[in-house]
Amino acid sequence: MIARNARVKSIVQRRRKTIIRKLRHILLEEVITLIKKKLDNTSIYYWINDSDAETSILFLHPAFADHSCFDKQMKYFGNHFKVIALDLIGHGCSLGKGSITDTADNIAAIMKTEKIGKINLVGVSIGAVLVADFANQYPDQLASLCCIGGYDINHFKPELQKGNSSQQMKMMLRGFLSIRKFAEENKKISAYTPEAQEQFYNMNLHFKKSSFRYLAPLGSLINKHETQERSYPLLIGVGEHDNEMAIKASKQWAESEPTARFVIFSGAGHIVNMDTPDAFNKELESLLQ
């Protein structure tokens, strides 16, 4: 009886600590303050918290969205890490001169400005392509790499590349005809939950037709480099409700990366971080530890 009571007491204490930790995290989330900055000599805007934390995370959003798609990640990690989210060129506030192929250099410049030695990079969809390009160009500046809804940009197979290009052309045509109709269609194939669909739809409405041109040079990043031996942890993820081609591409990439962790997120579509933020945050948190 004494031993049983001790076990029960131990379980209760552990659960109490877990509840207190979660409540503390929820309360702290509300006080995150982000500072909006413009990267010198570029059109790029980024948001960063006022933190002296040694560990830094930078988030890159999907096409047609903006930095705010990572609001729940910025809040979740912002009290323990330096967190950064930027608007890719042609998106959000980052309008003007520049090329999306300059993103790796822009990240390196932000790191220099903010005095960051190594960075944990997180990319979703096109963001995953761009953080993978950073890994090709600046491997020594990476602490970890998290790619969601992406593919192996160094070994992108022709059949997948053809399917991806065809899908992109169809989406761009819809966008040229009507941004509203484009946003309505895009939310359905990008997000799975009603809440994420609504949020993503509203982001898409702010995407300008003239910004489609910024996406054109993305192809120049494909099959340009050979994958180097990774000295940092890699997480490859995809939503269970993403399209068949995306799931296949993610699986193939994970199979070619012997040290990578591969996760299929239950209940999520393409933009996993918005569909299932809690599950995504926990996986990312485990990558950082």
Q: State residue 168's pLDDT score.
A: 57
Contact between residue 63 and residue 80 where contact means Cβ atoms under 8 Å apart: no
Region 217-230 average pLDDT:
92
- pLDDT higher at 119 or 32: 119
Dump pLDDT digits (tens) for 72-109.
999 999 999 999 999 999 999 999 999 999 999 999 99
- Integer CA distances (angstroms), 194 to 70, 189, 286, in order: 17, 12, 27
Q: State residue 223's pLDDT score.
A: 92
The average confidence (pLDDT) of the chain is 89
Q: Is 222 exposed, middle or buried (0-12, 13-18, 19+ CB in 10 A)?
A: middle
Region 131-155 average pLDDT:
97
pLDDT above 60: residue 233: yes
Six-digit token string for 112: 């220099």
Q: State residue 210's pLDDT score.
A: 86
Q: State residue 14's pLDDT score.
A: 61
Question: Is beta strand 234-239 parallel, antiparallel or unpaired with respect to 261-265?
Answer: parallel
pLDDT above 70: residue 169: no
Q: State residue 28's pLDDT score.
A: 46
Q: State residue 95's pLDDT score.
A: 96
pLDDT above 80: residue 3: no
Q: State residue 5's pLDDT score.
A: 60
Strand order in the sheet with 142-148: 34-38, 45-49, 82-86, 56-60, 119-124, 142-148, 234-239, 261-265
Dump pLDDT digits (tens) for 27-67.
444 568 999 999 999 999 999 999 999 999 999 999 999 99
Query: Going along 39-179, which residue ranges are E strands?
Result: 45-49, 56-60, 82-86, 119-124, 142-148
Contact between residue 187 and residue 274 where contact means Cβ atoms under 8 Å apart: no
Q: State residue 170's pLDDT score.
A: 61
CA angle 208, 195, 61 (to 5 degrees): 45
Report the distance separating Cα 122 and Cα 128, nearest Å.
7
Report the distance separating Cα 257 and Cα 96, nearest Å.
37
Q: State residue 179's pLDDT score.
A: 86
Q: State residue 129's pLDDT score.
A: 97
Contact between residue 270 and residue 246 where contact means Cβ atoms under 8 Å apart: yes
The CATH classification number of 33-288 equals 3.40.50.1820
- pLDDT higher at 40 or 156: 40
Taking the whole predicted model, whether its pTM rises above 0.75 is answered as yes
